[in-house]
Amino acid sequence: MRTVLAVFVIGTLGLASHAYAEVPVTPPCGPRLASLELPGEPVHSGGKADGSVTLNCARPQATTVTLASAEPAWASVPESVTVPAGATEAVFPIQTHQPDYIYGEYGVAITASLPGETLTRALKLKPGLKFFAADSSVISGDDVVFQIGLNGPAPEGGLTIPLESDNDALRMPASVTIPQGALGVAGFRGKTTRIPQDAQVTVTAKLPGQTRTALVALRAWTYDPGDWSLTGPARLRGGGFYTIMSLNLPNPVPHGGIHVTFTSDEPRMNLPSAMDLPEGTSGARTVQVSAPYDLDRDVTITATIEGVGARSHTLHVGPGLKQITFTDWPLYGGRTYEGTVELGTATSEQVTITLTSDNPAMQVPAQVVIPAGRSSGTFTATTSTVEYFQYATVTARLDNTFLEESFFVEPASG
């Protein structure tokens, strides 16, 4: 360490005297390159990375370090990087390229230099994303077909590439995997939903330090079905019997077809499955609905066309036939018995049920009336004298529904 002799003059009563002291002085930093650091893992070619240079000491002024790449067609660096005054380290960007295919790994020499001194390190490269392409324009609702490729074979175990879409109208799988040894994958798909206005969607494939994007123009899907409707009868009798309704579409279905679903404010209604109607469909389409036998209420059924809207129809569901019973059992010939016709629930209005028997051995009245507020009605049946076992089916009919019950008439005992 050098020292400097300092002289101090002290004045006292007009007399002068001299004082001496030694002040330490730090020698100036003669900069040297302590290190050149590059990514430890291979970089996907075509991607970005960072390197850094470190000096052996901090200088009071900025220091410029010269940089160079032995193969700028594969990896380029700036001409120099500046270490700020008072600092020892500076970071510089590395941009890699894809002039050709890589099979395995490829090394590019990167150098950092100060006057009279040079450090060289190898930047390792491996295959990166070479292309990512998609259908440029699709009608929303259709699938979008993608292809993706590398500038070299995928490594052992394959290469999984995350995918992202910037618009929910185009839903992508979370990732796509290029199998080991393959250069790419073609034909994987993104799902779109129908949108009323055109949209531009950007889909991004990502690897560390590298992204590729594909642009897709999603065209609006529109359908004006005209004065469309869901129609049907005003009343439906419960009990599982189907009634016919009609989905009416005056205007033809456009490209891609339509998806129609059916719902009801009564969860126990038996509704049609969803319908996919192809392009060109128009006019009336038959649909069938039924109800359980224990309802007595107004029910609304709704047809919804995806991307278009909904239409509803309300009808009244009345209770259906549940069972026919007799108070006594077994039934013998030559006697009278009290029978009962039961509905699934109490009826809000009077109903008239017709009865028939397919065997004279069991005779029933033509009708049974169940008044409003009741769920059953009684009748008197007469059996004929029989010499041997007889089998009779009694049928109850209510509106367009029916119920059959079978009974045995046996010869009277002793």
Same fold, 33-126 and 129-219: yes
Beta bridge partners of 383: 362
- What is the third-level CATH fold of 229-318? Immunoglobulin-like (2.60.40)
Distance CA 361, CA 392 (A): 7
Tokens at 286, concatenated: 């038959």
Tell me which CATH code domain 129-219 carries. 2.60.40.10
Contact 229, 301 (CB under 8 A): no
Dihedral pair phi/psi, residue 385, rounded to 5°: -65, 130
Output Rg (C-alpha) for the chain, integer angstroms: 45
Tokens at 349, concatenated: 């209005």
Residue with tokens 């950007």: 202
Full DSSP string of 202-270: EEEEEETTEEEEEEEEEEP------S-EEE--SEEE-SS--EEEEEEE-SPP-TT-EEEEEEESSTTSB
Tokens at 288, concatenated: 């069938």
Query: Which residues of the chain have a pLDDT value below 70?
Result: 1-27, 414
Q: Taking the model in full, what pTM does it have?
A: 0.66
The amino acid present at 89, given as its one-letter code, is: E
Instruction: Locate the domains of the chain by residue range.
Output: 33-126, 129-219, 229-318, 321-410
The SS3 call for residue 144 is strand
Distance CA 104, CA 110 (A): 20
Peptide bond into 60 cis (omega under 30): no
Farthest CA pair distance, the chain: 164
Beta bridge partners of 205: 163, 212
Tokens at 60, concatenated: 């009071």
Query: Residues with Cβ < 8 Å from 44, sequence gap 6 or more?
Result: 96, 125, 126, 127, 128, 129, 207, 208, 209, 210
Contact 133, 149 (CB under 8 A): no
The amino acid present at 213, given as its one-letter code, is: T
Dihedral pair phi/psi, residue 341, rounded to 5°: -105, 125
Contact 271, 263 (CB under 8 A): yes
Dihedral pair phi/psi, residue 225, rounded to 5°: -75, 0
**pLDDT for position 65:** 97
Tell me which CATH code domain 321-410 carries. 2.60.40.10
Tokens at 52, concatenated: 């850094």
- What is the third-level CATH fold of 33-126? Immunoglobulin-like (2.60.40)
